[in-house]
Chain A
């Protein structure tokens, strides 16, 4: 398997623009997680899905952030409008249901909002 795939790898945008980050989880994985990593706040869980259904979005910072998972092989994280404080590395991770809690991370998307 190719692992978790994220696109784009780098995104530079201006404040106020809409940003869409994409993730393809590992085939057969039931859970998908979106994280944000910054120097100040570390690695934060934003939202996670189980079988394409959002389970916990308590980490989503505000209404400007939204996430969808239309099918088992694709998820998006959208920021509209973007702000400079959204600059971070965004990771997607997936895992399979069962006794193993190991998460598989994608390479991340580095977002810079100017």
Chain B
């Protein structure tokens, strides 16, 4: 089964609003990453947060990690139409080089 599960599966908001997506995982991790996938394209890395970090920022992105709850959230502030995409969390387990991806959240930004 998937290590990461995103919630919600789909999210539709108005341009300018903030979008929050959540990810839960099952086992202890080394780090957690968020990726974006535009329709018909490959995944693009957005941000990485390590297991000893609680919050990280990159531009309009804010990621939090709660290892006690085995969960993470991705916040996109002041959303734009170009943010329309699917967003995936991916976990890296200690000692393993591979990532395990969740099912993703489909985000739609309405102009």
B33 contacts across to A, CB distance below 8 A:
101-102
Q: Kindly state whether residue B26 has any CB partner on chain A within 8 Å.
A: no
Q: In the complex where A43-B88, A45-B99, A45-B100 touch, is A101 in contact with B42 (Cβ < 8 A)?
A: no
Interface size range of chain B in the complex: 20 to 34
- Nearest CB of chain B from residue A91's CB, rounded to whole Å: 6
Is the Cβ of B98 less than 8 Å from the Cβ of A48? yes
Binding site for A on B (CB under 8 A): 2, 30-31, 33, 35, 41-45, 48, 88, 92, 97-104
B103 contacts across to A, CB distance below 8 A:
42
Is the Cβ of B104 less than 8 Å from the Cβ of A42? yes
Is the Cβ of A101 less than 8 Å from the Cβ of B31? yes
B99 contacts across to A, CB distance below 8 A:
45, 101, 103
Partner pick for A101 among B2, B44, B92, CB 8 A cutoff: B92
| Bound CA–CA A107/B44 (angstroms) | 10
Q: Summarize B's interface: helix, strand, loop or mixed.
A: strand
Q: In the complex where A31-B97, A101-B33, A102-B33 touch, is A42 in contact with B44 (Cβ < 8 A)?
A: no
| Bound CA–CA A82/B42 (angstroms) | 23
Q: Kindly state whether residue A73 has any CB partner on chain B within 8 Å.
A: no
Most buried by A among B30, B31, B33, B43: B43
| Bound CA–CA A93/B88 (angstroms) | 15
Is the Cβ of B42 less than 8 Å from the Cβ of A106? yes
Known: A45-B99, A48-B98, A108-B41. 15 other contacts (CB 8 A): A33-B98, A42-B104, A43-B104, A50-B97, A93-B42, A93-B43, A100-B48, A101-B30, A101-B92, A101-B97, A103-B45, A104-B45, A105-B42, A106-B42, A107-B42
Is the Cβ of B101 less than 8 Å from the Cβ of A55? no
| Bound CA–CA A109/B92 (angstroms) | 25
A103 contacts across to B, CB distance below 8 A:
43, 45, 99
| Bound CA–CA A91/B103 (angstroms) | 16
Which residues of A from 75 to 105 have beta carbons under 8 Å from B? 91, 93, 100-105
List the A residue with the shortest CB-CB distance to B4: A42
